[in-house]
Amino acid sequence: MSTHHNHSHAPVPVKVFTDDIDEAAARQLQNVAALPFVHHHVAAMPDVHWGLGATIGPVIPTVGAIVPAAVGVDIGCGMNALRLSLRADQLPDNLAGLRAQIERDVPVGFAGHPDGRWCEAGLGRVAAGLKRIQAKYPVIDARWQSQLGSLGGGNHFIELCLDESDRVWIMLHSGSRGIGNRIGQFFIEQARREMERLDIRLPDRDLAYLAEGSALFDDYVEAVDWAQHYALENRRQMVRLILAALRHQVAQGRLPDFSVTDEAIECHHNYVAHEHHYGRDVLLTRKGAIRARKGDLGIIPGSMGARSYIVRGKGDPESFCSCAHGAGRRMSRAEAKRRFNRADLAAQTEGVECRKDKGVIDEIPGAYKDIDTVMANQTALVDVVHTLKQVVTVKG
C-alpha cells in the first residue's frame, strides 16, 4: 500500500453503544473515522471516554496502516481472573493480613523484583523477541526483566472477590509495564515524524500513522506483538505470586488449604489483532475494549468499590465482536483529586480492605462511570456469567 493517503474522503460511520459520551470523546471518534484506511465503521464501547492521544473505548479496523497512539502506551494491558475452592466463610474476619501479604510478595507502583532474573521460565518465554527490536532501536529499553511479575500503578489492581455463590476469585489488571510504555512512546513519536516527512496533515497529531510496507510499520507490529506477550506473561507471573502469598497464609493457619478451579480467564483490552470483519482482513485495534466473540469469556471490572463481571461474548458484528473493558472514567485524575477527599474514599470503599489514603483518591469509585449502566448498554454484546464483589484490593 502507498504511504500517501487522500485525506479528503468522507468519514466512515461511528457506532456508539451508549448515550453517555462527552463532546471531546465524540470529536476524537469523528477524527478517527475520517482516516482513509479505517474499514467500514468505528465502534465505541459503553465505557467510552476521552483519552490522551486517542479515545478510550474504541474498536478500530484498519487496512494498510496503524495508529500507534490508538493502541496507546500500556500495550497488552488486560485482565486475569481465576476461581478458587475457598468460600467467603473460610476467609479471616480481618483481611488486612491477606492484603499485606500480597503487597509484600507482588511489587507494586514503580517497584520491580530486586533480582532481575527471579523467574527464568517466564523470562525465557518472552526474552528472545525483544533483542532484534532493541538492537535496531536502543532507546527502547527499560527494567523489563525486574518488572516481570509486578503490578504498576494507576488503575492497575489485584483483588480478591466473592461471586454470587460466595466463592473466592483472584482478579488482576495490569499490562506491559515500563517496556510497553517505551515501545508505545517511541513509535508514536516516529509516526508523528513520518507525517511531517510526508507533509500529511491530520485533524489530530495523535492520529499519526505508520503505513504498511514501511520498515517502521513492520517493526511496530513486531514490537506490539512482543509487548502483548510480555503483558500476558506478567499477569501470569503475578497470579503465581498471589497464589504463593495465599498459600503462605495457609501455612500460617490463617486460611484453609485450597485449590484452583478450572475457571481461569485471560483477556487483553489494549491491543492489536489480525481479524476478519465485513469482508476484509483488518488490523483491529481495541483500546479499552475486549474481544467478545460468541462464547468468549471476558472480565469487566468496576471501580474498587463496585461490582465486576465475568461475561460470555455474543459475537455481535457491529461491535466487531467486542465489549467494554470496565466502567470507564467519568472525570480526569486531577478533577477527582480536587473533588474528593479521604473521607469520601473511605465511604465509597466501605467494606473493602484497601488503601484509603490520598495517594489513591484519583481511583475513587466516584471518578468512574456506573458499571451497571455500562452493562445495561451492552446486553447485545455479552451475557453475564458471574457477578463479583471485591473484598480486598491492592493498588500501587
Reported as half-sphere exposure (CB side, CA atoms, 13 A), residue 55 has a value of 31
Question: Which segments of the chain are extended strands (E)?
Answer: 14-16, 42-49, 56-62, 65-66, 78-87, 157-162, 167-174, 210-211, 260-268, 270-277, 280-287, 289-291, 297-300, 307-313, 322-324, 382-395
Q: What is the DSSP letter of 93?
A: S
Phi-psi region of 40 (alpha: psi -120 to 50; beta: other; left: phi over 0): left
Q: Strands 14-16, 42-49: parallel, antiparallel or unpaired by DSSP?
A: parallel
As a whole number, mean pLDDT of residues 70-95 equals 96
Who contacts 119 (Cβ-Cβ below 8 Å, separation ≥6)? 113, 148, 149, 237
Which pLDDT tens digit goes with each residue over 249-304?
999 999 999 999 877 899 999 999 999 999 999 999 999 999 999 999 999 999 88
Q: Would you tell me how many other CB atoms lie within 10 Å of the CB of residue 173?
A: 25
Q: What does the pLDDT read at residue 289?
A: 97
**In angstroms, what CA-CA distances link 391 with 96, 163, 170, 233, 354?**
10, 11, 11, 26, 8
As a whole number, mean pLDDT of residues 46-64 equals 91
Q: What is the dihedral of CA 344, 345, 347, 351, to 10 degrees?
A: 180
As a whole number, mean pLDDT of residues 199-209 equals 93
**Does residue 99 carry a pLDDT above 90?**
yes
- Grid coordinates representing 145 are 526483566
Helix axes 177-197, 215-251, angle to 10 degrees: 160
Q: What's the mean pLDDT when you consider all of the chain?
A: 93
Kindly list the structural domains of the chain, giving each domain's residue range(s) and its CATH number in brackets, ordered by start.
36-290 (3.90.1860.10)
- Please tell me the pTM assigned to this model: 0.94
Cα–Cα distance for residue pair 289/299, rounded to 1 Å: 10
Taking the mean position of all CA atoms in its chain, how far away is CA 208? 22
325: annotated active-site residue: yes
Who contacts 89 (Cβ-Cβ below 8 Å, separation ≥6)? 166
Residues of the chain with pLDDT > 90: what percent? Answer: 84
Which pLDDT tens digit goes with each residue over 321-356?
999 999 988 899 999 999 999 999 999 999 999 999
Inter-residue contact 330 to 314 (CB < 8 Å): no
40, 268, 269, 325: the catalytic one is: 325
